[in-house]
Amino acid sequence: MDESAPRQGRSVFVGLVGASQVLGLASVVLTGVWMGHYRQGFAWDGSAQEFNLHPLCMVLGLVFLHGDAILVYRVFRNEAKRNVKVLHGVIHLLALIISIIGFAAVFDFHRAAKIPDMYSLHSWCGMATLVLFCIQWVMGLLFFLFPVASSWLRASYLPVHVFCGLVLLVMAIGTSLLGITEKLLFSIMPTYSKFAPEGVLANVLGLLLVCFGVLLGYLITREEYRRPPNPEEESLSVHFKTLTEGGSPTTP
């Protein structure tokens, strides 16, 4: 019974990661179906179809890819840290690019339709999330991918970086929920309270995003899923202080 415990733990981990991917992908697909089927699809011409790119890009970039970029540290916790770190940075870069396209889409739509910017709680939370996400990405690059900071500074910053990453994921999900509510009240206010299919679909999307966030939060914070300490990596990191020599001084 004792011998099978680690294998059981591994199965639970694989199951939870699989479930998180199903939830994340389902959220992206459901956003696409909502915008594609109920909101007349996508375009880049300042029309409402350009706006439709905004939710799709934000859910794909700032929620799904952002979450997966964090998750790589748990999924590949026995791989070389340097590789995982590069993967983490690359997925985050992809998330950032897609999110910026999503931001451009909504500002372009607002400009064409003469709708004021930045008045709603959704826009305030969204802007705060994207700006902090950019700062977090640049800080991560400087501290962990280029040997700018000392080992001590990197070790001190690491828990802050990890905490802020999770906070930003939660903020991205919360902002998405605000966006869903805004969009429904702008588009289908008279039928939303009659349980119109579009409203139910968007509500289900909101719940999927919440479940994705809870599962990611569990996988990231659970002690047993953390990267095991590797003394070889630690010493290399302390002595040479560069990414090419073996990663950061402590494990995220």
**Interface with its own copies (CB under 8 A), residue from 28, 35, 172, 202:** 202
In the region spanning residues 148 to 177, those forming contacts with its own copies, defined by CB under 8 A, are 159, 163, 167, 170-171, 173-174, 177
Query: Which of 145, 149, 192, 238 forms a contact with its own copies (CB under 8 A)?
Result: 192
- Does residue 95 bind its own copies (CB under 8 A)? no
Instruction: Determine the size of the site formed for its own copies (CB under 8 A).
Output: 41
Q: How far is CA 151 from CA 32, 69, 79, 230, in A?
A: 44, 23, 21, 16
Question: 51 or 91: whose CB is closer to its own copies?
Answer: 51
Q: How far is the CB of 48 from its own copies (least distance, A)?
A: 16
Decide whether 43 or 211 has the Cβ nearer to its own copies.
211
Q: In whole angstroms, how close is the CB of 215 to its own copies at the nearest point?
A: 10
Examine residue 195 and tell whether it contacts its own copies (CB under 8 A).
Answer: yes
Site for its own copies in 65-84 (CB under 8 A): none
124 scored as a contact of its own copies (CB under 8 A) = yes
CA neighbor of 64 nearest in space, from 25, 15, 29: 25
- Residue 191 amino acid letter: T
Three-class secondary structure assignment of the chain: CCCCHHHHHHHHHHHHHHHHHHHHHHHHHHHHHHHHHHCCCCCCCCCHHHHCHHHHHHHHHHHHHHHHHHHHHHHCCCCCHHHHHHHHHHHHHHHHHHHHHHHHHHHHHHHHHCCCCCCCHHHHHHHHHHHHHHHHHHHHHHHHHCCCCCHHHHHHHHHHHHHHHHHHHHHHHHHHHHHHHHHHHHHHHHHHCCCCHHHHHHHHHHHHHHHHHHHHHHHHHCHHHCCCCCHHHHHHHHHHCCHHHCCCCCCC
From the list 125, 130, 216, 236, which residue makes contact with its own copies (rule: CB under 8 A)?
Answer: 125
Exactly one of 120, 135, 138, 153 binds its own copies (CB under 8 A); which one? 120
Q: How far is the CB of 187 from its own copies (least distance, A)?
A: 11
**Which of 178, 208, 219, 236 is in the footprint of its own copies by CB under 8 A?**
178
Q: Minimum Å distance from CB 195 to its own copies?
A: 6
Binds its own copies (CB under 8 A): choice among 2, 3, 194, 228: 194
Q: Which of 74, 122, 154, 227 binds its own copies (CB under 8 A)?
A: 122
Rounded CA-CA distance 247/109 in Å is 43
Shortest gap between Cβ of 242 and its own copies (angstroms)? Answer: 27
